[in-house]
Amino acid sequence: MGHRVLLSGAASLTGAEVLAALLAAGEVSSIRLLVAAGAAGEEALRRLTAYLGELPERVSALPSELGRPRFGLSVAAFAELARSIDFGIHCAERTRPDQNLERARRANVWPLEGWLELLARSSELALHHLSTAFVGGTRRGLFTEFDLDCGQGFHHAYERSKFEAERTLRESAVSERVTIYRPSHVLGRATDGTAFELGGAYPLLGTLATGRLMVGDGRARLDLVPADFVGTALVKLALAEARGTFHLVGGWEGSLPIREVADLAAKATGRRRGGRLLPRAASGLLALSGAASPGDLGSRHLARHIAEASLCQGLVCDAYRAEAALAPLGLACPAPRSWLPSAVAAAAERRWSAPPAGELEGAAATPPPTTAASARPTDPIFGAKRFHRIGEVNLAFRDLGSGEPVVFFHGWAGAHSWDGVLERVLPNRRVIVVETLGLGDCEAPASADYSLSAQAARARGLLSALEIPTADIVGNDTGSAIAQIFAARWPQATKSLVLSDFHAEGGFPASQVKRLRRLMRLPGGTRLVTGCLRFAPFARSAQGFRHMVFDRSLLSPEQLEGYLAPLAASRERRQHLKRFALALNKAEVDAVAHLLTALTVPTLIIWGADNHYLSPSWGQKLCDDIPGARRLALVPFAGISCHEERPDRFAALLLDFWAELALEAGVSSAVDSPQPGPTITTKEASWTS
């Protein structure tokens, strides 16, 4: 029997060539393509058929969503998938060289969670991951197949997200079954210049072909490789069961000076000579006008950034391992002078035209949202918001899924900050997200009680109304305070407790909130505060939302709007916010802190390792204070809103914890949870005290 292959991202520049090489390989008996569900997937198949010809019967499509846990498949279907393949090839990626890190991470890092889970299910499975040589980022000098973290920076989100993806794979427990391929700038086929799409390095080539004045260094070298070489090399190495990292590049000898590439590209498009190159130091001048825009492959602004990042001397890729492995297979990277003109001509014939809408982003680029900002309230997985009147408060909540109930309390990041975690928990659990009065959609008159104790009491009332006698309780930030009060007062209703990033003695309320309260007491103060927060630089500052997350690049305009909308979308909300902020009372949390010392409910403490407001030592203190606390787990590279910043890790910790409790209770069947990603368990072990 031949090899059975699972391929993602077939409808991409390199993925299509990988599929072509798989079809040409006699020893492959079946190829399953992970494609987007619905019309997008059908369109991808139609385009693949148009490019490669009628696909044989051994090729089948598997509708899926790469960014979702288990690729969006059911547990049974996922288990069946793990049994029915020999190796996977992951080519889906977002190659657009912009600064949108959130989208880049969703497309380039998140899908690995599913792949790693697949590998964890079958010890025979191997993964072949398409990365890029530009994980080397801004490093100048030699970059070998053994290198990854050399202390480099990154020009754009694509480089950074691919770097993070490789790090995830290297740190995983299944790293010995993962092979990484790093091509340099990929263009069309060496044979005739045709390309499935004008992604990859085409925006760069287009800039060179059409630009008259651009930022760049004529003497620096550009490493270009044809997509068919990458596809064939990848498949041959995969079939030869190669392991490790391979540079599929031209190297120094096989790369061309940028001046020469610009001339070749210009001549192939009918111009006499290539554009003029200005040193990078002069890029400020070009910023006024932008660089040439190659067809509709990108804006003038993007073209300038591409030139700035790529048209200067950076990495020199060493391909020792790839050359040693490919030589016996009779494969070598073709010299660019022989094929580059045809690639340029073919692209020019297509008028440097972008593929149909959505193609550049690829099927993998639309995984589910994780943050409040990107949440899609209409998505069935997030369900409709419901209200339940308790006293004079109309309590907003979401009740989703089925199974053992778990209640989530949120803090200043808002109720939707839990969405990334919910996504991973929902397949096995009934989830109730209770909104905090003052920080969400709850409705109440001015006379309502905004204190944390009252919020906990209302949550208890809601659970009674929903006929939930006992539930797992999870809280973050101020939501963690509510969870603590809930558990301390009603331990019999608390099956287990997960507390994140809040300690009553750690300066409550935070100094930033105290400043807000002082301002809000002034006439028009609340309006002034929310008005300032609408000003993006202020919102991104330390006085705004800067320290909600560790990685400031996550604070995109959409994300900031996600934080702000529940607080300041209307006059009523501003009033709720003011009442909530003024009601925060240290005495009540102090009282609860005392009760916690007698709490024996199984408790897990999760803390953002880079929490600016409360260092992990407060988490350790909480862990020491609560007799039922099992351990403190740190989420690396995450701030106070760690559940939002690293939902994969947070969810894995939750699932692990609940599985552990279920096992102890002798009801392992109660938790039919997907195995937490091996990367997560390995990494966390070292961080868990």
Partner 1 sequence: MRSRVYREIDAIGAERLAELPDRGLDFSFGLLRAIEKALWGELEANYLTVEDEAGHLLAFTPVYTGSNLNLNALLPKAIQRGYNALVNGLGVAVATRVAVVGCLISDRGWIPMRADLQDRAGALRLLLAEIDRVAKAGKAELGMLKDIHGDFPAAERALMRQAGFAEGFSLPTIRVDTAFPSFEDYLEKHLSKNGRKHARKQFRKAEGLYRLSAITDFEPLIPLVYPLFRNVFLKAKYQFEELPPRFFVECARSTEPRTELVICETGEGKIVGSLLIFYDGHEQLNKRIGIDYEVADSGLIYNLLNYTGISRAIERGLPTVWLGQSSYLPKTRLGGELQDQYLLLKAYNPALKPTLPLQRWWMQRYSATSIAAGLEQGVSL
User: In a 3-state reduction of DSSP, which class is residue 35?
Assistant: strand
Q: Is 535 in the site for partner 1 (CB under 8 A)?
A: no
Q: How many residues bind partner 1 (CB under 8 A)?
A: 26
Report if residue 38 touches partner 1, rule: CB under 8 A.
no
Shortest distance, CB of residue 483 to partner 1, whole angstroms? Answer: 37
Cis bond before residue 328 (omega within 30° of 0): no
Q: At what angle do helices 157-171 and 101-108 cross, to 10 degrees?
A: 40
CA distances from 112 to 137, 268, 646 (A): 21, 39, 14
The set of residues, in sequence order, having a beta carbon less than 8 Å from that of 467 and lying 6+ positions away, is none
Nearer to partner 1, 20 or 316 (CB): 316
Binding partner 1 (rule: CB under 8 A), the pick from 228, 318, 419, 645 is 318
Q: Are strands 178-183 and 141-143 parallel, antiparallel or unpaired?
A: unpaired
For the CA atoms of 132, 137, 141, 147, what is the dihedral angle to 10 degrees?
Answer: -60
Q: Exposed, middle or buried: residue 219 (CB in 10 Å: 0-12, 13-18, 19+)?
A: exposed
Q: Rule CB under 8 A: choose which of 140, 273, 276, 571 binds partner 1.
A: 140
- Residue 21 neighbours by CB distance under 10 Å: 22
What is the C-alpha to C-alpha distance for residues 430 and 428, in angstroms, rounded to an integer? 7
- Under rule CB under 8 A, residue 141 binds partner 1: yes
Q: How far apart are CA 233 and CA 24, in angstroms?
A: 13
Exposed (0-12), middle (13-18) or buried (19+): which is 338, by Cβ within 10 Å? Answer: exposed
Per CB under 8 A, does 171 bind partner 1?
A: no
Q: Which is nearer to partner 1, 313 or 575 (CB)?
A: 313
Among 50, 146, 597, 598, the residue binding partner 1 under the rule CB under 8 A is 146
- Say whether residue 636 binds partner 1 (CB under 8 A): no
- Candidates 218, 334, 358, 383: give the one binding partner 1 (CB under 8 A): 218
- Output 507 or 636, the one with its CB closest to partner 1: 636
Residue with tokens 């900031």: 560
Q: Which residue, 247 or 410, is less far from partner 1 as judged by CB?
A: 247
Which CB, 106 or 182, lies closer to partner 1?
182
Q: Is 219 in the site for partner 1 (CB under 8 A)?
A: yes
Q: Is 285 in the site for partner 1 (CB under 8 A)?
A: no
Sheet of strand 629-635: strand arrangement = 386-390, 393-400, 429-434, 404-409, 471-476, 494-500, 603-608, 629-635
Shortest Å distance, C-beta 140 to partner 1: 8
In this structure, are residues 187 and 225 in contact, taking their beta carbons and an 8 Å threshold? Answer: yes
Q: At its nearest, how many Å lie between partner 1 and the CB of residue 137?
A: 13
Nearer to partner 1, 219 or 351 (CB): 219
Of the residues 98, 217, 443, 449, which one makes contact with partner 1 according to CB under 8 A: 217
Return the residue of 279, 356, 531, 627 that touches partner 1, per CB under 8 A.
Answer: 279
Place of tokens 């994780």: 370
178: contact with partner 1 by CB under 8 A: no
- With CA atoms as reference, report the closest residue to 296 among 362, 359, 246: 359
284 sits near partner 1 (criterion: CB under 8 A): no
Verify binding: residue 176, partner 1, rule CB under 8 A: no
* Contact flag: residue 252 with partner 1 (CB under 8 A): yes
Residue with structure tokens 């949120």? 410
Q: Segment near partner 1 (CB under 8 A), from 317-325, 397-405, 516-524, 626-634?
A: 317-325
Contact with partner 1 (CB under 8 A) among 144, 394, 512, 553: 144
Residues 227-246 that bind partner 1 (CB under 8 A): 244
Q: Which residues bind partner 1 (CB under 8 A)?
A: 140-142, 144-147, 150-151, 216-220, 244, 251-252, 279-281, 312-313, 316, 318, 320-321
